[in-house]
Chains A and B, each alone.
Chain A
Amino acid sequence: MIESSQSSGIKTKRFTWENTKQFFRDYGWCYAFILIPLILFVLFTVYPLVMAFIYSFQRYSVLGSEWIGLDNYKSLMNSSVFWTAMKNTLIYTAATVPVNILITLFLALMIFPLNNKSQTFFKAAFYLPGVTSGITMSLIWLWIFDPTGAGLLNAIFNLFGLDSVMWLANPDTALFSLILMTYLGAHGAGILLYLAAMGGIPKSLYEAADIDHAGWWSKLKNITWPLLKPTTLYLLVMGIISSFQVFEQAYVMTMGGPNLATTTIAYLIYDHAFQSFDFGLAAAESFVLGFIIIVISVIQFKFMSTDIEY
Chain B
Amino acid sequence: MKKFNLFVFLLTFILILTACNGNEGDQTGAGTDSEGNADEDVVTVWTYPHYEGNEETGQQSYEEDLKDLIAEFEAENPGVKVKHEILSWAEGGKKFTAALNSGNPPDVFFSLFDEKYVNTGLAVPLTDYVTEEDLADLNDFGEQMYTYEDQLWGFPHYISVHTWGGNRAMLEEAGVDVEKIQQEGWTWDEFYEIAKKGTKTVEGKEVYGFVTQGQNEETYTQLMMQNGVRNMVSEDGEFMFKGDKALETLSFLERLRNDGIMPKETGGIDPAKADVMFNNGQAMIYGRTGPYKIRENENRNADIDAGKVDGEKIDFVLLPLPHNDGEKENAFGGAGGLMLFKQKDDKGEAHTENAAKLLLKLTSTESGKLGATLFIPPSRQSGQEMYKEELKLDTPNGQFVQRYITTLTPGAKLPEAIVQNAGKLKTESVIPNYQSFIIGNATAEETVKAWEDYAKTLGFK
Looking across the interface, which residue of chain A has its beta carbon closest to that of B272? Answer: A142
Give B416 Cβ to nearest chain A Cβ, in Å.
12
**Residues of B8-41 contacting chain A, CB below 8 A:** none
- B94 adjacent to chain A (CB < 8 Å): yes
- A169 adjacent to chain B (CB < 8 Å): yes
CA distance A148 to B98 in the complex (A): 37
Mask of A253-277 contacts with B, CB within 8 angstroms, 1/0 = 0010111100000000001001111
Give B376 Cβ to nearest chain A Cβ, in Å.
25
- Cβ A259 vs Cβ B268 within 8 A: no
- Cβ A62 vs Cβ B102 within 8 A: yes
CA distance A10 to B371 in the complex (A): 73
Q: Report B-chain residues with C-beta under 8 Å of the C-beta of A57.
A: none
Checking B101, B121, B420, B439 against A169 with a beta-carbon cut-off of 8 angstroms, the contacting residue is: B439
- Cβ B100 vs Cβ A166 within 8 A: no
Looking across the interface, which residue of chain A has its beta carbon closest to that of B454? Answer: A80
- Cβ B100 vs Cβ A257 within 8 A: no
- A171 adjacent to chain B (CB < 8 Å): yes
**Residues of A232-265 contacting chain B, CB below 8 A:** 255, 257-260
- Given A62-B120, A63-B121, A171-B441: A257 touches B268 (CB 8 Å cut-off): no
Give the total of A residues in contact with B, Cβ under 8 Å.
Answer: 28
- A167 adjacent to chain B (CB < 8 Å): yes
- Cβ B215 vs Cβ A255 within 8 A: yes
CA distance A63 to B346 in the complex (A): 11
- A194 adjacent to chain B (CB < 8 Å): no
Checking A259, A277, A278 against B435 with a beta-carbon cut-off of 8 angstroms, the contacting residue is: A259
Q: Report A-chain residues with C-beta under 8 Å of the C-beta of B420.
A: 276, 278
Give B54 Cβ to nearest chain A Cβ, in Å.
25
- A61 adjacent to chain B (CB < 8 Å): yes
- Cβ A169 vs Cβ B265 within 8 A: yes
Give A178 Cβ to nearest chain B Cβ, in Å.
14
- Cβ B432 vs Cβ A259 within 8 A: yes
Looking across the interface, which residue of chain A has its beta carbon closest to that of B98? Answer: A274
Give A109 Cβ to nearest chain B Cβ, in Å.
27
- Cβ A166 vs Cβ B268 within 8 A: yes
Q: Report A-chain residues with C-beta under 8 Å of the C-beta of B216.
A: 255, 257
Give A257 Cβ to nearest chain B Cβ, in Å.
5
- Cβ B121 vs Cβ A61 within 8 A: yes
- A126 adjacent to chain B (CB < 8 Å): no
Q: Report A-chain residues with C-beta under 8 Å of the C-beta of B406.
A: none
- A81 adjacent to chain B (CB < 8 Å): yes
Q: Report A-chain residues with C-beta under 8 Å of the C-beta of B122.
A: 62-63
**Residues of A119-169 contacting chain B, CB below 8 A:** 146-148, 164, 166-169
Stretch at the interface among B165-173, B179-187, B423-431: B423-431
- B393 adjacent to chain A (CB < 8 Å): no
- Cβ A166 vs Cβ B94 within 8 A: no
Q: Report A-chain residues with C-beta under 8 Å of the C-beta of B435.
A: 169, 171, 257-259
Residue picked from B93, B268, B433, most chain A C-beta under 10 Å: B268
- Cβ A166 vs Cβ B265 within 8 A: yes
- A60 adjacent to chain B (CB < 8 Å): yes
Looking across the interface, which residue of chain B has its beta carbon closest to that of A63? Answer: B121
Give B455 Cβ to nearest chain A Cβ, in Å.
14
- B103 adjacent to chain A (CB < 8 Å): yes
**Residues of A256-306 contacting chain B, CB below 8 A:** 257-260, 271, 274-279
Looking across the interface, which residue of chain A has its beta carbon closest to that of B114? Answer: A277
- Cβ A275 vs Cβ B432 within 8 A: no
- Cβ B267 vs Cβ A62 within 8 A: no
Give B405 Cβ to nearest chain A Cβ, in Å.
29
Q: Report A-chain residues with C-beta under 8 Å of the C-beta of B428.
A: 80-81, 260
- B290 adjacent to chain A (CB < 8 Å): no
Checking A61, A148, A260 against B263 with a beta-carbon cut-off of 8 angstroms, the contacting residue is: A148
CA distance A37 to B268 in the complex (A): 46
**Residues of B327-358 contacting chain A, CB below 8 A:** 344
Lowest 9 A-B CB distances belong to which pairs?
Answer: A147-B268, A169-B268, A258-B435, A169-B267, A147-B265, A259-B432, A63-B121, A259-B436, A166-B268
Given contacts A63-B344, A146-B273, A257-B432, 12 further A-B contacts (CB under 8 A): A62-B120, A147-B265, A147-B269, A169-B435, A170-B268, A171-B439, A259-B436, A260-B428, A274-B97, A276-B116, A277-B116, A279-B101
Listed in ascending order, the chain A residues whose CB lies under 8 Å from chain B are 60-63, 80-81, 146-148, 164, 166-171, 255, 257-260, 271, 274-279
Q: Can you list 23 residue pairs at the A/B interface with Cβ under 8 Å? A: A62-B101, A81-B428, A146-B268, A147-B267, A148-B263, A148-B268, A164-B265, A169-B214, A169-B215, A169-B268, A258-B439, A259-B432, A259-B433, A259-B435, A260-B432, A271-B427, A274-B93, A274-B94, A276-B420, A276-B423, A277-B101, A277-B119, A278-B420
